Amino acid sequence: MEPTINFFSGFNVNDLWFLGEAALRTLWISVLSISIGTVLGILFGWVLFEGKWAAALSLAPVLDVFRSVPLIIQLVLFYNFAPIVGLNLDPFGSGVVILTIYTAALVANVARGGIEAVAGSMRRAARSLGMSYLQDLRYVVFPIGGRAVFPAWVGVALGVMKDSALVSVLGYVELLKASQILITRTQEPFLILSLAGAFYFALSYPISRYAATLEKRWAQ
Amino acid sequence: MFNYNFHWRPVMKSLPDLLEAALLTLQVAVLAMVIGILIGLCLALVRMHLKGPVYWLASAWVELARNTPALFQLFFFGFGLGAFGLHLSPYLIVLAGLSFNCAGYLAENFRGGFQAVPDTQLRASRSLGMTAWQAYTRVVIPQVFRIVYHPVTNQMVWAVLMSSLGMLVGFRELSGETQIFASRTFRIFEYFAVTAVVYYVIVKLILGASRLLAVRLFRY
């Protein structure tokens, strides 16, 4: 009798570690790009607000491109563009760069909305109390505008966390890519996809609920 | 700096194919939006008016759609259902995934829209002798429509951008077609650059059309 060869093996405990590691990579790339992207985005938002027509003609269209082209295309494009200009980036590096710019483009709009949410009279009052421009930004605009757009920012951050799954096209083994690899080997798509989905859900759901409660509380 | 010769000719040669694929992208996005709007309306109404298992089912749908990556949802309709012997074609995978996602996001928009119309208006129109149907179609819905118009437009843009994920499940819409051409000719950067432009134009066309329509619709 011919011995049968089995290419597939069942799901075991080691695979859980593999998934866990991949989940950490998802977290790492998200946290990195969200934090850098947010700082950049706030800066861009301020430029958009103060720059008037100059920013509307220069920065705004550039940021707009990142919001109008699918993230997956941006990733492939940048990954293949970087070597042309002599940058040798691994999938992780390219992913962080694009996710960061993408976050910044989204946060820029949020940040501008936040600055606009602070009434002009309040800012003039702050200035006439003797605050410098920076003090006005730090002690008046940031706390008030920040509250107004914090829920929107949480939405952007969670969106980027979910979109980080797309870095898998470049071959970066984050959670979804890892589950795809496991599915190919174990042929147990339902179980593995449920695990991966549960991780994203467990991360995203409580944060979005918390942001919603904060929004409600601040609205009062 | 540029040690790379750009070859645009193969891209230009296959441009008609790419544009045809872009039509497929639009088609799937529009279909997904139509289905998403219908289901989203049902979900929103169920979540506002019903209790019990139907409420939980609708809530689970909305929260799952909003708190997991779109790519995960596509994989789920792809491999996940495959586990139950239900093998969908790439077209159906993308359509189902996008509709599921859009319905979840739109349901929240619709709920916000319905809640923005004060209850008193419904009661006032009822006491003027309108039937419930008349009150809804003549008083409530027109106002809700105005509120959700821009979120729905945004969701339409998202649907177009999200359909690019079809590339990862073997669907030959704009991105998938581009990938096939790119791997056939190795002009990856050139192909994806052109595709990015096509997406940008599609998004701008949708936003422009929506703005024109808004001017005509909301004259009063």
A74 touches B at CB < 8 Å: yes
Rounded to the nearest integer, the mean pLDDT of chain B is: 90
Chain A: nearest CA to B199, how far in angstroms? 6
* B3 falls within a domain: no
A27 touches chain B (CB under 8 A): no
Going from the C-alpha of A17 to that of each of A35, A80, A115, A178, the distances in angstroms are 27, 32, 44, 11
Dump pLDDT digits (tens) for B65-111: 999 999 999 999 988 887 787 888 899 999 999 999 999 999 999 99
- Chain B residues in contact with A196 (beta carbon < 8 A): 72
Q: Is the pLDDT of residue B220 over 90?
A: no
Q: What residue ranges of chain A are covered by domains with CATH 1.10.3720.10? A: 38-172
Is B108 within a domain?
Answer: yes
pLDDT score for A141: 92
**Which of B1, B84, B175 is nearest residue A73 as measured by Cβ atoms?**
B175
Give the number of other CB atoms < 10 A from CB of residue B165.
29
Cβ partners under 8 Å of residue B150, min gap 6? B214
Please give the residue of chain A at the shortest CA–CA distance from B166.
Answer: A72
What's this model's pTM, rounded to 2 decimal places?
0.90
CA-nearest residue to A188 within chain B is: B83
Of B98, B87, B105, the closest CA to residue B28 belongs to B98
Half-sphere exposure of B55 (CA within 13 A, CB side): 6
Model confidence pLDDT, tens digit, residues A139-174:
999 999 998 899 999 999 999 999 999 999 898 998
The 10 Å Cβ neighbour count of residue A16 is 12
How many C-beta atoms lie closer than 10 Å to residue B9's C-beta?
11
Q: What average pLDDT does range B208-219 have in this prediction? A: 90
Q: CB-based contact (8 Å) between A126 and chain B?
A: no
Query: What contacts B176, CB < 8 A, 6 or more positions away?
Result: B21, B90, B166, B167, B170
User: According to CATH, what is the number of the domain A38-172?
Assistant: 1.10.3720.10
CB contact under 8 A, A85 and B204: no
CATH number at residue B149: 1.10.3720.10
The residue behind tokens 């009062």 is A220
C-alpha span between B191 and B178 (Å, rounded): 6
* Per-residue pLDDT at B1 exceeds 80: no
Q: Rounded distance, CA A107 to CA A103, Å?
A: 6
B68 close to A (CB below 8 A): yes
pLDDT at B121 over 80: yes
- Per the domain annotation, does B121 fall within a domain? yes
B18 contacts B198 by C-beta, under 8 angstroms: yes
Whether the ipTM is more than 0.90: the answer is no
Q: Is residue B2 part of a domain?
A: no
Q: Which domain holds residue B164?
A: 12-217
Distances (CA, A) of A166 to A73, A116, A183, B202, B203: 10, 33, 18, 21, 20
pLDDT at position A185: 84
* In-domain check, residue B4: no
Quick: pLDDT tens for A22-31.
999 999 999 9
**The dihedral sign for the CA sequence A33, B162, B149, B99:** negative
Query: Does B208 touch chain A if contact means CB atoms closer than 8 Å?
Result: no
